[in-house]
Amino acid sequence: MAFEILNIIAISAFAFSGAIVALSERYDIFGTFILGIATAFAGGIIRNMALDVPVVHVWEQGYLLYVALITISIVYIFPKSWVMFWDRWNIYLDAVGLSAFALQGAVFALDENFPLGGIIFAAILTGVGGGVTRDVLAQRKPMVLHQEIYAVWAMLTGLLVGTGVINVESSAQYYLLFLFIIGLRVMSYHMGWHLRFRDLYRI
C-alpha cells in the first residue's frame, strides 16, 4: 500500500511539474501533455532500460497514466497568472518527485534482487530521470547539473534501502525516508550546498 501511494504522489508531482514548465515556456496543449507525461514516466523507463529488465510502456501504466493525465489537465486549466507563481515553487514539486521516485527505484531494484550497486543506480536513474527529461525537452539546464546537490539525495536513498538501514516493509520507515529526502533536497537548495570543491580553496 505504501508503495502504491508513493507511486501516485510521485506521478502527480512530476506530471504537475512538467506541465507547469511547459506552460511557462508557452507550450500548446499537445506539448504540455507530452512534457508532463515524459516527466512522470521517463525515469522508470530509463531505469528499466539501463538495468535490462522489461520496460513498462507509458500506455501500460494503468491507473497511473490516468493520474498523470488528470493532473496535467488540472494544471492546463489553471488561470495563466498562476503558472509563473507555481513555476517559482517548482523546486518543491521536484523535491517530492525526486524523493518518491528514488525510493520507488530503490525498492524496485531490491525486489528484483539486485546488489547494492544496482539498487543505488536504480534509485539515481529513477529519481533524476524524469526531471532531466523535463529540463532537456524544455531547453533548460537540468537540475542535476546545477551546483546544488541533487542526485546525491537519490544515491543516499538507494544506499539506505540497499544496506537495510531503512526497512521498506515498515510503512513508518518508508514514509520517514521519503520526508527526510525531501527535507534534505529543499535544505540543500536554500542553503546553497554544492559539490564544487574548487570553491573550498584557491589554487
CA distances from 8 to 5, 22, 25 (A): 5, 21, 26
Q: What does the pLDDT average to over 164-173?
A: 88
Domain positions in the chain: 2-200
| Chain mean pLDDT for the chain | 84
* pLDDT tens digits, 113-140: 999 999 999 999 998 888 888 888 888 8
Number of Cβ within a 10 Å radius of residue 11: 29
Beta bridge partners of 194: 148
Nearest to 118 by CA among 155, 148, 147, 149: 155
CA–CA separation, 70 and 76 (whole Å): 10
Q: Give the single-character DSSP code of 194.
A: B
CA distances from 178 to 59, 116, 185 (A): 27, 19, 11
* pLDDT tens digits, 143-159: 666 656 778 899 999 99
Q: What does the pLDDT average to over 91-102?
A: 87
> Where are the alpha helices (H) located in 80-195, listed in sequence order?
80-88, 90-111, 116-137, 151-162, 171-191
Contacts of 175 (CB under 8 A, 6+ apart): 2
* pLDDT tens digits, 180-192: 999 998 888 888 7
The pLDDT, as a whole number, for residue 91 is 82
| Percent of the chain whose predicted confidence (pLDDT) is above 90 | 26
Are 38 and 133 in contact by the 8 Å Cβ rule? The answer is yes
Nearest to 85 by CA among 150, 23, 148: 23
The pLDDT, as a whole number, for residue 195 is 63
pLDDT for 200 beyond 50: no
Least confident residue range of 6-10, 42-46, 77-81: 77-81
